[in-house]
Amino acid sequence: MARIGVFTSDFKFYRDVIQLLKEWNLPFLSIESTESVPDDVSVVLSSTRDTFSIVNQVKSDTPLQGLRMSLAKLLLKEKFDTVVIGIDPGPYPGIAVFGDNVLMEAFECPSIQQIGQDVTAIVGSYAYTELQIKLGNGDAPNRDYILNALRGMELRIKVVDEQNTSFPHKIHNNALSAARIAQVEHHYTIAPELQTQNIKRKEAYEKEFVTLKRIIGN
């Protein structure tokens, strides 16, 4: 199982990136010396303020940017063939990101006004050959707002049918719907058991999708 290494002289970056890696539940190692990097460390996160360079290093301004930049390497790839961003329109849009059919992340924007900033950060951080953006066709006013907000980015956006992406109600949230929207017209399914059982929100992702957590064996 590959791990993410952390090696930086920037204390704030170190503290914040360790916290982020724990939140994402990803395997990582704090590296004490560039001469002692284990073979299973496929990528090393550092700050752009670090002056040194080492093999498989990713330098970034923020921990989240660095983590997104490193995810393909964590899966032993230079870059993803295809990254798909699913967006569930609404006043608090859901965003989900798949890299080569693996769910990397899913979250809810704190406001619709932030959608452009969040999508820009994702597009600029992930390594990929092809990018697809799928926007649900519901909630017309907010859908159109999102289309206008992203228009200046010159992205190819496909509006897709979001029917059935919001059930079952007990575990519905905008991020989960965004993940389902991203899978429309691909291998989009909803596990049958989710329609009848009381599934916890976190469990829904693991039951419905191939997730980053599952594929790295955590």
Residues 39 and 126 in one domain: no
Residues 40 and 97 in one domain: no
The amino acid that residue 195 corresponds to is Q
Dihedral sign (CA 32, 35, 38, 40) = positive
Residue 205 predicted with pLDDT over 90: no
CA angle 161, 165, 167 (to 5 degrees): 145
**Full residue range of the structural domain in which residue 48 is found:** 3-74
pTM check: above 0.85 = yes
- Tell me which of 74, 99, 115 is where a domain ends: 74
Percent of the chain topping pLDDT 90: 71
What is the Cα–Cα distance from 69 to 63, expressed in whole angstroms?
Answer: 10
Q: What is the pLDDT of residues 22-39, one digit of tens each?
A: 999 999 999 988 888 889
What is the Cα–Cα distance from 91 to 203, expressed in whole angstroms?
Answer: 25
Residues 53 and 122 in one domain: no
Higher-pLDDT residue of 193 and 174 is: 174
pLDDT confidence bin for 195, thresholds 50/70/90: very low
If one counts the domains in the chain, the total is 2
Q: Give me the chain's average pLDDT, please.
A: 89
Q: Token digits for 24? A: 């994402």
Residues 107 and 200 in one domain: yes
What is the Cα–Cα distance from 2 to 217, expressed in whole angstroms?
Answer: 10
Residue 190 predicted with pLDDT over 80: no
Q: What is the pLDDT of residues 80-99, one digit of tens each?
A: 999 999 999 999 999 999 99
Residues 125 and 203 in one domain: yes
- Tell me which of 74, 98, 124 is where a domain ends: 74
Residues 9 and 43 in one domain: yes
pLDDT confidence bin for 164, thresholds 50/70/90: confident
Residues 146 and 53 in one domain: no
Q: What is the pLDDT of residues 140-151, one digit of tens each?
A: 999 999 999 998
- Tell me which of 74, 99, 116 is where a domain ends: 74
Higher-pLDDT residue of 204 and 166 is: 204
Query: C-alpha 26: how far from its chain's center?
Result: 13
